[in-house]
Each structure stands twice: as C-alpha cells, then as structure tokens.
Amino acid sequence: MHKRIKKILIPLLIGIVFLCGCAAKEPTPAGDFQQLEAYQETYFSLFDTVTIVKGYAVDEKAFHEALKPFYEEFLLCHELFDIYEEYPNLLNVKTINDNAGIAPVEVDERIISLLTFCKDVYDMTGGAVDVTLGPVLSIWHNAREAGENNPEDAYLPDMEELKAAKQHCGIDKLVIDESASTVMLTDVNARLDVGAIAKGYAIQMASKKLPEGYLISVGGNVVATGGKEGGDTPWVIGIRNPNGAADDYVEKVTLVNGSVVTSGDYQRFYTVDGVNYHHIIDPSTLMPGSRWRSVTILCEDSGLADALSTAVFLMDRESGEKIVLAEGAEAMWVDQDGNVYYTEGFKERLKK
C-alpha cells in the first residue's frame, strides 16, 4: 500500500459520492435477455485516495474482466505521474524533478501529453494553476505532514522561505520536446507538482478502457462512461456539504456522460492555532486560497474539470465563470458562509 495513504481518513476524502444503483433486471439493449447485475470494486492505493468503480455485468467474473484494462491504465498513470515515489524500470515525473537543471528525461507519451496540457492550463487560468509551483507546494506539503503527525508542534511555513522557493517556479522552466519525447526543468531547484490535474487526466484516459455505463469515483473526481447499464438513466452524484459529514450533500447532480470534480478546503488540511490551512495554494499570495469552501466543475473531460476546479477555487466568481463558460464547462461555488452559487447550466443539472 502507498506510504501516504495510511495517513488518510478515507471517507473524509470522498467529496463526491455516487448515490444510487441497485441490481438491474432489464434486458440488455442488444435484445439478449441475460440479466445484468450491479457490481462495485474499490482500490485503496491509487493517487493517494480511494477509487470506486461501479458498473453492470452478467456476473462478477465478467465485471472484473471489464475492469482489468481500466485498472492497468490507471495504475500506470498513477506511477508515471507520481512525484514522490520511484518504480522499477519506470521514468516518471519524480525522475524529471530529480534531473532538474541536469538533463532532459525521455518519458512515456502520457507524461508528455499531461505536461503539454498543464502548460495549456497555465495559459487558460492566467497562471492560477501552475504545475511548476512545486518548490512552494513542497514546503506546504512538509508543514502539513509534520502538523498531521504532531498536531501540538504544527507550524506555518515561513513566508521568506516561500518567497525564496517561488524564485524557482515558472512555467518557462518546463521545457517539453515532443519530437524527442523529453522533458527538462531548466532550474536545478525547479520541481513539478501535478496534483491539481493528474488525477482527473488519468481517470479520463483510463475511463476510455471501460464499457459504456460505468461510473468511477476517485476522491473528489467522478467520471461516467454513459448512463446506467449504458442506457439513458443518469447516475446521481452527491456533492459534499463542506460543513457537514461525508454523507451530507449540499446538492445532487445527474450525470450520463462526462465528469464532476470538486476542489474543497476540507479535502486535505492541517490545523495551526485552531485555524485550518488547506492544500490549494494561491500563487499570488503563496497562502491557501480563502474565497471558497468548495468549487465543483461539470464538463465532458475530467482532466479539464480537475484543472478548472482548482483554478476556479482561487478566483473571484466573475473571473472563474468566464473561464468555465469559455471552456464549455459549468460550475458551482460554496462560499465561507455556506451560500451556494451556480452557472445556469449547472442549475439545470441539479437533481430535482
């Protein structure tokens, strides 16, 4: 099991939960009158959170057969996009970080396409989501881990140290050579942190390996590959109330095809002197963003939804809405007082 997963209170991480689906007794659309049953599988060691896949198959064996290609792809993405761990015979994002200022690293095409997308996200979000923020994010990460392990000694990062780390950030330090399939960080102290985007990007790719009508939930990221059983019946996704328990939903939305992703201040945080400090860092202040309790994005592509949820979490509503609508997405915001705001399209997708 992944080292960091042990520290996670699993149910608290699941900001979005799919809510319905009992055994289905309808004939398949092909006219084959074999009955389908609902099945569910849970994985605990991927992307530092819990993955649940739900779908329909004729029997359990068929369900697990259908999951195999998905799991293999998702596991590979988990290893390729990891910034903390090394794996035998694999060059991953950690390898790129370890070679910062030293040499380009030839990597799998999945890393090239993820990082190319990350550069696009930087432009799209005006730098709000910046995967080269690694030096700053690792200071917060270390403080959070120390605070979680020893709550009495929890401390805030030193602002001078954060500012010094910021000197080594910058999207221009990330050089991708697509024809050579190499990536290089040009500053010896530069580091990538793909945590804002990689999970959604990976589910999007892996979900292509599943049959129609499956639902995947990875922490706060959900993808549906079609309505239940591949039909028109939507899945119902609960969006967690940031002030409530894991099964207290602020809203429920319907999903047939596409993705719902939430970024929230309750998903990962630690406490210093009674104040919670979470994991989404505003590049302009180097502190956790404080505008929203959570932002949920609804759109076709889970990589885009993941990127947008982190970005919009750091923006005022007007700026966020502009970007969301320009990207063909919809959004829902929960503010510090529990007020909820929606784009028009999001409102239409609420479960009545």
Q: Find out whether 121 and 112 touch, Cβ atoms under 8 Å.
A: no
Contact set for Mg ion, span 308-337 (CB under 5 A)? 309-310
**Binding string, residues 119-138; x marks residues near ligand AMP by CB under 6 A:** ---------xxxx-x---x-
Which residue, 306 or 330, is less far from Mg ion as judged by CB? Answer: 306
306 binds Mg ion (CB under 5 A): yes
State phi, psi for 258 to the nearest 5 degrees.
120, -155
Specify the amino acid at residue 109: E
234 binds ligand AMP (CB under 6 A): no
96 binds Mg ion (CB under 5 A): no
The crossing angle, in degrees rounded to 10, of helices 109-124 and 302-313 is 40
Which residue, 56 or 140, is less far from Mg ion as judged by CB? Answer: 140
301 binds ligand AMP (CB under 6 A): no
310 binds ligand AMP (CB under 6 A): yes
320 binds ligand AMP (CB under 6 A): no
265 binds ligand AMP (CB under 6 A): no
**Binding string, residues 186-205; x marks residues near ligand AMP by CB under 6 A:** -------x-xx---------
- What's the rounded Cα separation, in Å, for the pair 290 and 275? 12
130 binds Mg ion (CB under 5 A): no
Closest-by-Cβ residue to Mg ion is 310
309 binds ligand AMP (CB under 6 A): yes
Residues of 33-71 as b/e, b for ≥16 C-beta within 10 angstroms?
Answer: eeebbbbebebeebbbbbbbbbbbbeeeebbeebbeebb
- Binding ligand AMP by CB under 6 A: which of 280, 298, 329, 331? 280
Total residue count of the chain as it appears in this document: 352
196 binds Mg ion (CB under 5 A): yes
- Under the rule (CB under 5 A), what is the footprint of Mg ion? 196, 306, 309-310
> Would you tell me which residues interact with ligand AMP (CB under 6 A)?
128-131, 133, 137, 193, 195-196, 263, 267, 279-281, 283, 306, 309-310
